[in-house]
Structure 1
Amino acid sequence: MRQEALLNGFWSFITDEKEIGKAKKWFEKAPKEVGDHYVPGCWNLQDPKYFRYEGVAWYFNKFHVSQDMKNKKIDIIFEAVHYYSEVWLNGKYLGKHTGGFTRFNFDITKVVQIGKPNILAVRVDSRLSETTMPVPGSDWFNYSGIVRDVRLLATGKVYCSDIYVKTKIDGRIKAIVECTNKLASNQDVTVTVAICNKELEQVAEKSMNLSVKSNASGKTELDFKLDKPHLWELSDPYLYKVHVSVKKYGEAIDKLSIDMGIREISTRGLQILFNGRPIKIHGVSRHEDHPQFGRTIPQSAIYKDYQLAKDLNANMIRLAHYPHDPKEIEVANNIGMFVMEEIPNAFLMKPQLADKKMLELAKQQLRELIMRDRNNPSIIFWGLAIECETETVPGMKFMKELTELARELDDTRLLLHAALALDKDKSYKYVDVMGVNTFDAWYNDMPFTAPGIFLDRVHKKFPNKPIIFTSHGADSIYGLHSREKVMWSEEFQAEYIQKIGDDVIKRDYLSGECIWHLMDFRVMKQSENKYFLKFLDLGMRNRKKNYQYLKRPGEYNLKGIVDTFRRPKLVYKVVQDLYKRWDDLEKKLNRS
């Protein structure tokens, strides 16, 4: 049977500013000058001298593998290392990975030592450029290092390598199971899938025989029909358990279990349907950012953030702007919260969108995201792009290929992207839902009615497709008050959200809004972020800019409904009341 072992804990750590580690073969023996850093964790917050460090660093860990893993296939799994990583075990090169937010693994069966110490070396390069994803101008902090769990997974040489469960609200369920065979001969196995309810009662079971060739993978599909299925709803996030068993000669050689929520998401004209009824989205965006933990946030703290969102009457959290920790998706599944999950395909300009390497990088990150998270019922949208130049021909081709890949990997969710050029965009035609981002009346001198006018223009150009107002907001400094409601005050932020919210909620064609942002979050030092300023000039073209309000006081984006310590601002009550109105609107829509 499969076994797991976490490698979290204190690892040896050293920066490599001069990039001499490879030449000096640190992967064979760590230098004497190493210190201790906790894994998972962001190196920026573990020692003040590394707070702004972007570059190369090395991690080293000594671990033992127990005898009961002998003769098994053993993988080492990294949930996320930011950004570019290379890995060695016992001096042997395992491989590399690009991208700081998704899971990757290496087969260490032939390299790992059983009953002896193993030395793991990881070289991390956190530098971003105009050819990385994200680009350096992404307006969030570049938390770096081994930022999520590291673990060992031991299985038999024939094992379940993937399961994908597709559900329909009438009770039809399709389980697609993949098995992999690492033995020298072909293997015949029996795959059994059992479904249990929350009370641990088995409600369905089916078996299929599968022949898997040597050093290859094979798939089988099992179809079920549940009577009176208990649907996953926000008010009742009911989860079934799906158990997969792989048997050889009647004996189980591998077992795997996942949660399953039965639900459907679709569109009908201008409406977004969840479980067959129209819904209105009223959400908040959330970066992985915490003043104490950075991006490596404990699940208990994530849960508190989701409780905050629930208290705001929000029904969705937009995971800005990259794949978040799987522990967060687990919270959403259990607490009852819609999720929009994205890849860091943000703020790309025409030359980047024309670059085939950037397209392949986007595809890689999209593939890793969907393959990791496609069984989670809370996720209803895949976000494919954020404010890129998708009105260009290269942008259109870029988006066409991304949408084709997304639908190939998962046809059970809606695709969305938030355009920069709005009604001039050429890529909305490829997605199911149009996202509109505009910060007019904050970054420029336009009136509070400007966002609604832009929404109308998009709707006029694309009259038969759902629209979500995916991003808008204004900054405020916690504790700064003003009778005149001057910008940066809590009063101005509250008025901004109130007036824009009052205006846009009147539009029947609109499927909802998502306010930017749940909490204040740390960003990069702007004087060092020329790409961001260049991009803002592009995004605000033909509009009078207020450069004063492009600033980031204290190196924070201060558009939070709560501050970085999760203390509510005046806007909290405004959002609470506004989102109650969105909820009432949805109920009225369903009554009619």
Structure 2
Amino acid sequence: MSQAGQGRRISLTAMRAIAVLCLLLWWPMPGCAQARIDLDHDWRFRTDAADAGVRAGWADATPPDTRAIDVPHTWNIGRDDDYEGVAWYFKRFVIPASLLSSHIELHFGATFYRSRVWVNGVEVGGHEGGHTAYGFDVGPRLHAGENRIAVRLDNRPGMATIPGYAMRQAASGNVWYDWWHYGGIVRDVWLTAHDQALIRRQRIATRLGGGAADIDTQVFVENVDRNDGRYRVTARIIDPDGKTVAQAQADIDARAGQSASVALHANLPHPQLWNIGDGRLYQWVTELQAADGTVLDSRSDTFGVRDIAIRDRRLYVNGKPVRLSGLTRHEDSPWEGLAESVGTIRRDWLDIAALHTTLTRPVHYPQNDAVLDFADRHGILLVPEIPVWQFSEAQLKSPKLLALAQDMMREMIEQDGNHASIFAWSVCNESDASTPGGRAYVDAMASLIRRIDPGRYVTFADADISIRPWKDAPVMHDVDFIMANAYFGSWSGGGGDVEGWLDFMDRAYPDKMVIISEFGYPGVFSPDAASADKARSENLVQQMDAFQRRSFIGGVIFWTYQDYKSHRNLWPGQTEGYVDHGVVDENRQRRPSYFVYEARNRPLSVTTQWRVDKDGLRGFQATVSGYASTHLPSYPMQGYVAHWRAMDDRGHELAHGEKPLVDLAQPVRFEGAWQAAGKDAAVHLMVDVISPEGVRAGGVTSDYHPLNIGSAHFLPDGNKQP
């Protein structure tokens, strides 16, 4: 069963046993009322190159030569760096007898790639796919006292695995997919305990109109009891300021061991809108109650009230046209690989936000909840994707692969579908989608998505579209907008060829908005890293300027934020290493292209003038301007704040202040002043503009030198961009 990773679960009737588990499992739970029991610590691990573990009885008894680890964990760092094959994880834990009357499930946030799971020597199930959550009912297999989990994982790709062999590359002799095969238990593991019934998930949909918002939620309930049940579902909406602003309730019947769903509705008269760079989030909190009023379960999901539309080849957010930009990022680092900690994720995404990212794919596979939560809270639009990369028509035509792709997409949508940041889903990348078999695959996937998530757009990322000879591909007319991987200056042709290609796109798809889903400069096209980054800087500016001139380009996504590990696209002579493609390297050290990218993607400009009189420098005037909707990037900016600080030549502060920028649809001017520091004083001025989410959107530093400035009342200062 697929488990959504977002909600918080509370089963108050299970408190009698969980109080014991708080001590036995060393898991800190406030009040010991939450029925999620952490199993991340004290695992044992070993590889199994001969795949002998099942025959040797490892499901029943831990073998020798294991090593202690915690999860999340990947074995593809260190001594097993390039190991492909089978490996095992083992865990012992204690269950008190009082908990055995509850419904107990074992959950995995993600395991890469194919799993088989045993509890106390009995196989309870398995899962294929490396990036979505799943779980099993393990209550019947548990007993009082010590219990044991064994997990067999296999990270080997094949013709029908996703990701799998890139058979479009068969002629090259290298069919690796273009990122590392990080096998392991790569996200959290936990137990849940419930009595009678639980909330499996909830699907939240919002609709704006007439200054109000209608919120419709489908709550999916599962009766885990031996008896039929009648339950009450109550819900409340909490606004971004923490106030309860709406409530709803309904009754639901569910037969023993069966699932049921109920619809709830609420209306918000004057909602706070989720916007680009301003991620205002509501909470939908649902309680499931027994007939006697006992709370059986509770779940909380965040959502945003916003309207995203594509009209006349333009992208609109809340009725305003936007043109957005951003970078992709692999879940990859030398210290954690795919098994990322929240700290690594937050550190990287804060840096990506500082690069003014408002749109990204974000990469080829479903993301960690921490990534999606960050995008929600910082107003970043996402197009998540499943890892169907460089697949041939034969692979796309395979019924087995289609079924697996649909399972992955369904799991991703059920797990992540309430995130405000997601506005579209992508079904593949750089595959044979323009063939008849490929088009059938895209159409089948689109049909599934439109059935289970009708409020979002469907697309895929294509590279053939930018390779000569350019020709119309019928499949492009089947999706809601086109995503094109366009590497002019390397794989797609010369940098100047982008202009002719954009002319072709305008003619061939006159009704389609286009998002450049990848562009950038791969290091292998230059002799060394330094010259590659110089070319990368020049290429990104030249390409963005070309994209900016075409209004049907709704957004651009740079490949990539950081270098990532791969067997492909490496310097000559290398068979594994880090792909030189990022504005930072694998250790997050910034290259010169980082600063070029940051400057080119600022969403606003800041200029200052000095205010001078006969007694010397008195202050300044600043102008903050957002860009017109023709600029790339451009989007409405409300609620920003300008902070300024003036210092003398000895580093002493003269004055500081701030100016609220209510709406940058028009330029905003403000002044700052201080007591004259003397006719000969030099002054250093810093002005920074901060978004509602605390991200620096732009600014300037200016230096006043009295010997060079003269005595005019207002003079331009020749601003230096930091």
- Normalised by the length of structure 2, the TM-score is 0.74
Shift, 1:406, TM fit: 1.0
Give the number of the structure with larger relative contact order, counting CA–CA contacts within 8 Å between residues 6 or more apart.
1
Mapping 1:159-558, distance limit 5 Å: 159-169=198-208, 170-249=212-291, 250-422=293-465, 423-443=471-491, 446-476=493-523, 488-524=531-567, 526=568, 555-558=577-580
Alignment-mate amino acid for residue 91 of structure 1: G
| In structure 1, C-alpha distance between the alignment counterparts of 2:370 and 2:395, rounded to whole Å | 32
Shift, 1:66, TM fit: 4.4
Shift, 1:430, TM fit: 2.4
Q: What secondary structure is seen at the aligned counterpart in 2 of 1:64?
A: strand
Partner of 1:576: 598
Q: Does 1:28 align with 2:60?
A: yes
Q: Does 1:39 align with 2:71?
A: yes
Shift, 1:86, TM fit: 0.2
Task: Work out whether residues 443 and 550 of structure 1, in 8 Å CA contact, stay in contact via their aligned partners in 2.
Answer: no
Alignment length (residue pairs): 562
| In structure 1, C-alpha distance between the alignment counterparts of 2:543 and 2:576, rounded to whole Å | 27
Task: Work out whether residues 325 and 556 of structure 2, in 8 Å CA contact, stay in contact via their aligned partners in 1.
Answer: yes
Q: What secondary structure is seen at the aligned counterpart in 2 of 1:39?
A: coil
Closer/same/farther in 2, CA of residues 119 and 150 from structure 1, 3 Å limit: same
Partner of 2:122: 92
Alignment-mate amino acid for residue 164 of structure 1: R
| In structure 2, C-alpha distance between the alignment counterparts of 1:8 and 1:37, rounded to whole Å | 9
Shift, 1:262, TM fit: 1.3
- Which protein has the larger Cα radius of gyration, Structure 1 or Structure 2? 2
Alignment-mate amino acid for residue 145 of structure 1: G
| In structure 2, C-alpha distance between the alignment counterparts of 1:585 and 1:10, rounded to whole Å | 56
| In structure 2, C-alpha distance between the alignment counterparts of 1:568 and 1:21, rounded to whole Å | 45
Q: What secondary structure is seen at the aligned counterpart in 2 of 1:379?
A: coil
Closer/same/farther in 2, CA of residues 412 and 69 from structure 1, 3 Å limit: farther
User: Structure 1 stretch 244-253 or stretch 549-558: which is displaced more?
Assistant: 549-558
Closer/same/farther in 2, CA of residues 92 and 575 from structure 1, 3 Å limit: same
Q: What secondary structure is seen at the aligned counterpart in 1 of 2:95?
A: coil
| In structure 1, C-alpha distance between the alignment counterparts of 2:207 and 2:521, rounded to whole Å | 40
Q: What secondary structure is seen at the aligned counterpart in 2 of 1:32?
A: coil
Alignment-mate amino acid for residue 451 of structure 2: E
Task: Work out whether residues 317 and 339 of structure 1, in 8 Å CA contact, stay in contact via their aligned partners in 2.
Answer: yes
Task: Work out whether residues 366 and 412 of structure 2, in 8 Å CA contact, stay in contact via their aligned partners in 1.
Answer: yes
| In structure 1, C-alpha distance between the alignment counterparts of 2:603 and 2:231, rounded to whole Å | 55
Residues 256-296 of structure 1: CA deviation (Å, up to 9, x unaligned): 11112212222112011222222212011111011211112
Task: Work out whether residues 100 and 143 of structure 2, in 8 Å CA contact, stay in contact via their aligned partners in 1.
Answer: no
Task: Work out whether residues 392 and 426 of structure 1, in 8 Å CA contact, stay in contact via their aligned partners in 2.
Answer: no
Shift, 1:550, TM fit: 8.1
Closer/same/farther in 2, CA of residues 550 and 245 from structure 1, 3 Å limit: farther
Which of 156, 176, 183 aligns to 1:144? It is 183
Alignment-mate amino acid for residue 126 of structure 1: N
Q: What secondary structure is seen at the aligned counterpart in 2 of 1:288?
A: coil
Closer/same/farther in 2, CA of residues 458 and 363 from structure 1, 3 Å limit: same
Shift, 1:157, TM fit: 2.6
Closer/same/farther in 2, CA of residues 453 and 282 from structure 1, 3 Å limit: same
Task: Work out whether residues 512 and 552 of structure 2, in 8 Å CA contact, stay in contact via their aligned partners in 1.
Answer: no
Mapping 1:111-130, distance limit 5 Å: 111-114=141-144, 116-130=145-159
Q: What secondary structure is seen at the aligned counterpart in 2 of 1:230?
A: coil
Shift, 1:301, TM fit: 1.9
Shift, 1:62, TM fit: 0.3
Q: What secondary structure is seen at the aligned counterpart in 1 of 2:629?
A: helix
Alignment-mate amino acid for residue 158 of structure 2: S
Structure 1: gaps of 5 or more residues: 527-531, 533-547
User: Structure 1 stretch 289-298 or stretch 91-100: which is displaced more?
Assistant: 289-298
Residues 487-531 of structure 1: CA deviation (Å, up to 9, x unaligned): 84321111111211222211112112111001111112x4xxxxx
Task: Work out whether residues 239 and 245 of structure 2, in 8 Å CA contact, stay in contact via their aligned partners in 1.
Answer: yes
Partner of 1:78: 108
| In structure 2, C-alpha distance between the alignment counterparts of 1:559 and 1:372, rounded to whole Å | 31
Closer/same/farther in 2, CA of residues 554 and 356 from structure 1, 3 Å limit: closer
Alignment-mate amino acid for residue 441 of structure 1: G
Task: Work out whether residues 302 and 331 of structure 1, in 8 Å CA contact, stay in contact via their aligned partners in 2.
Answer: no
| In structure 1, C-alpha distance between the alignment counterparts of 2:185 and 2:354, rounded to whole Å | 33
| In structure 1, C-alpha distance between the alignment counterparts of 2:123 and 2:372, rounded to whole Å | 32
Alignment-mate amino acid for residue 481 of structure 2: V
Shift, 1:551, TM fit: 7.8
Residues 455-475 of structure 1: CA deviation (Å, up to 9, x unaligned): 332332111011011101113
| In structure 2, C-alpha distance between the alignment counterparts of 1:439 and 1:209, rounded to whole Å | 55
Partner of 1:538: none
Shift, 1:58, TM fit: 0.7
Partner of 1:4: 36
| In structure 2, C-alpha distance between the alignment counterparts of 1:517 and 1:551, rounded to whole Å | 23
Closer/same/farther in 2, CA of residues 512 and 215 from structure 1, 3 Å limit: same
| In structure 2, C-alpha distance between the alignment counterparts of 1:120 and 1:561, rounded to whole Å | 42
Identity of aligned residues (%): 26
Residues 426-482 of structure 1: CA deviation (Å, up to 9, x unaligned): 3222221100112232236x32122343333233211101101110111349xx999
Mapping 1:560-575, distance limit 5 Å: 560-575=582-597
| In structure 2, C-alpha distance between the alignment counterparts of 1:560 and 1:255, rounded to whole Å | 42
| In structure 1, C-alpha distance between the alignment counterparts of 2:406 and 2:519, rounded to whole Å | 28
Shift, 1:204, TM fit: 0.7
Q: Does 1:155 align with 2:194?
A: yes
Shift, 1:38, TM fit: 2.4
| In structure 2, C-alpha distance between the alignment counterparts of 1:56 and 1:499, rounded to whole Å | 47
Q: What secondary structure is seen at the aligned counterpart in 2 of 1:384?
A: strand
